[in-house]
């Protein structure tokens, strides 16, 4: 089996790594890939941008790929799935209309409200005055989000006081990020719950919890995610998310006539009473959650994708490791705002932790940081303490100027007595 993956980051590399653990998978092409995928056995980079829809389709046809996977949200938003399907090319990705669930907060929120899916009170605002008026009706803190796609997690701010609310709204509208979502803050524990959906049947994947704040102790600005761990949920929590969030959303997609194939990521907040609320929907594997999910997956990944294409996910017999997994992102100085680039990276030669290139380029044989989240690490072990130890021992062997990572990922976390 031969597979094409669009992407250059750690998520695309992790998918390729996992797929090639299956003996049935002969080759994985990455468009354009990264320095690690250029030399890994079974992987090959091709000179096609992950956003070049026509180029990806030509490559899939010429290479005779059995199917194509898409990792960047921006590519999903261009309608790559629609283009591939119109040409009879197998692809696991939602249509352009369906992917609006991720790249338009307004569309997503209206979708949730229409079908009474539990979600925080919110309003999409077209002007600063409108946003300020609605924010004044909410208790502090107030969540403020850009409607569309914004780089590096900077599109979400949790404003702690009224002046912070005012300053954030002024900054968002000055930046012309488009409409702004102003939302009620719900206190609780956030969970990333991901499924694979074939349009008829769904398969729950291992849940995880990510760390969105830049600094230890959940301080600093929001990011795309600085680390994650899995498992998280008790059986009761798992069932509540399925019955109150997942299945109502899938039923709503059917009612709207929205065709969907691929991953669906539900960002869920579980409050002190154990009630889940849906914060966001993503149309891909989350990052860094992808690493914890793939670490624990024991079933052949390509078989799950084939069943997805055949709309037979109800026949999947998925197996999950009883071990726990932890992931860590190492970022550049200035992330998530002004990001330092161009520093040479040194990586450990040997490690029992997996090392992925999030934002790395090659220059004359040297690995160079390219800004943002630069290196991702993931580990698996019997306990979170053991997984953390392996992870941070490897992190100490990663070196580039200005690098930063959190030191409290999965700290003092016990494996749930009942887990998915």
Task: List average pLDDT for each run of 10 residues in the chain, which is 420 residues long.
Answer: 98 98 97 97 98 98 98 94 97 96 94 98 96 98 90 80 96 88 96 98 97 96 96 94 98 96 98 94 96 98 98 97 97 93 94 95 96 97 96 97 98 67
Neighbour count for residue 219 (Cβ, 10 Å): 9
Peptide linkage before 283 cis (omega within 30 of 0): no
Contacts of 248 (CB under 8 A, 6+ apart): 115, 116, 117
Question: Tens digits of per-residue pLDDT, 392-409?
Answer: 999 999 999 999 999 999
Q: How far apart are CA 68 and CA 206, in angstroms?
A: 23
Q: Inter-axis angle of helices 96-103 and 105-114, to 10 degrees?
A: 100
User: Which one, of 365, 373, 369, lies nearest residue 405 by Cα?
Assistant: 373
CA distance 366 to 396: 19
What is the SS3 assignment for 379?
strand
Can you list the alpha helix ranges (DSSP code H) found in 246-329? 247-256, 289-296, 301-309
Q: Is the dihedral of CA 134, 139, 142, 148 positive or negative?
A: negative
| Cβ within 8 Å of residue 74, ≥6 positions away | 51, 149
Q: How far is CA 38 from CA 41, 58, 289, 294, 295, in A?
A: 9, 20, 24, 21, 22
Please report the pLDDT score of residue 153 as a whole number. 61
Report DSSP letters for 224-248, one per residue: S-SEEEE----HHHHHHHIIIIIHH
* pLDDT per position as a tens digit, 209-233: 999 999 999 999 999 999 999 999 9
Residues 6+ apart with CB under 8 A from 232: 191, 207, 208, 209, 416, 419
pTM value? 0.96
Given this model, what pLDDT does residue 420 score? 45
Classify the C-alpha dihedral 52-55-60-63 as positive or negative. Answer: negative
Give Rg (Cα) of the chain: 21
- Which class for 73: exposed (0-12), middle (13-18), buried (19 or more C-beta within 10 A)? middle
Q: Which H or E element spans position 123? A: strand 122-125
């Amino acid at each position: 089996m031969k597979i094409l993956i669009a992407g250059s980051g750690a998520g695309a590399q992790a998918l390729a790594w996992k797929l090639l653990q299956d003996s049935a998978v002969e080759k994985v092409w990455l468009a354009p890939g990264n320095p690690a995928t250029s030399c890994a056995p079974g992987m090959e980079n091709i000179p096609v941008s992950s956003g070049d829809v026509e180029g990806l389709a030509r490559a899939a046809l010429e290479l005779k790929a059995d199917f194509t996977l898409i990792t960047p949200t921006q590519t999903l938003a261009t309608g790559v799935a629609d283009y591939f399907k119109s040409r009879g090319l197998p692809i696991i990705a939602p249509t352009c209309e369906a992917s609006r669930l991720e790249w338009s907060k307004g569309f997503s929120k209206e979708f949730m409200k229409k079908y009474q899916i539990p979600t925080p009170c919110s309003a999409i605002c077209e002007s600063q005055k409108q946003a300020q008026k609605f924010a004044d009706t909410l208790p502090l803190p107030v969540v403020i989000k850009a409607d569309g796609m914004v780089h590096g997690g900077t599109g979400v701010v949790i404003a702690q006081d009224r002046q912070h609310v005012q300053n954030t709204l002024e900054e968002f509208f000055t930046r012309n990020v488009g409409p702004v979502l102003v939302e009620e803050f719900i206190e609780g524990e956030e969970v990333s719950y991901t499924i694979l959906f074939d349009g008829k049947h769904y398969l729950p994947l291992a849940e995880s919890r990510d760390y969105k704040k830049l600094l230890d102790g959940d301080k600093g600005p929001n990011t795309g995610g600085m680390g994650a761990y899995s498992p998280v949920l008790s059986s009761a929590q798992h069932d509540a998310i399925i019955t109150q969030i997942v299945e109502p959303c899938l039923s709503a997609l059917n009612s709207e006539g929205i065709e969907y194939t691929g991953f669906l990521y539900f960002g869920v907040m579980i409050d002190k009473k154990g009630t889940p609320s849906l914060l966001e929907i993503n149309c891909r594997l989350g990052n860094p959650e992808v690493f914890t999910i793939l670490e624990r997956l024991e079933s052949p990944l390509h078989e799950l994708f084939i069943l997805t294409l055949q709309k037979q996910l109800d026949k999947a017999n998925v197996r999950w490791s009883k071990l726990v997994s932890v992931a860590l992102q190492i970022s550049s100085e200035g992330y998530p705002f002004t990001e330092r680039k161009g520093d040479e990276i040194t990586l450990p030669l040997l490690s029992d932790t997996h090392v992925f290139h999030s934002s790395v380029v090659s220059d004359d044989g040297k690995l160079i940081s390219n800004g943002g989240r630069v290196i991702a690490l993931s580990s698996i072990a019997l306990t979170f303490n053991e997984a953390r130890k392996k992870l941070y021992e490897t992190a100490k062997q990663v070196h580039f100027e200005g690098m930063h990572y959190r030191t409290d990922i999965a700290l003092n976390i016990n494996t749930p007595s009942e887990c998915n």
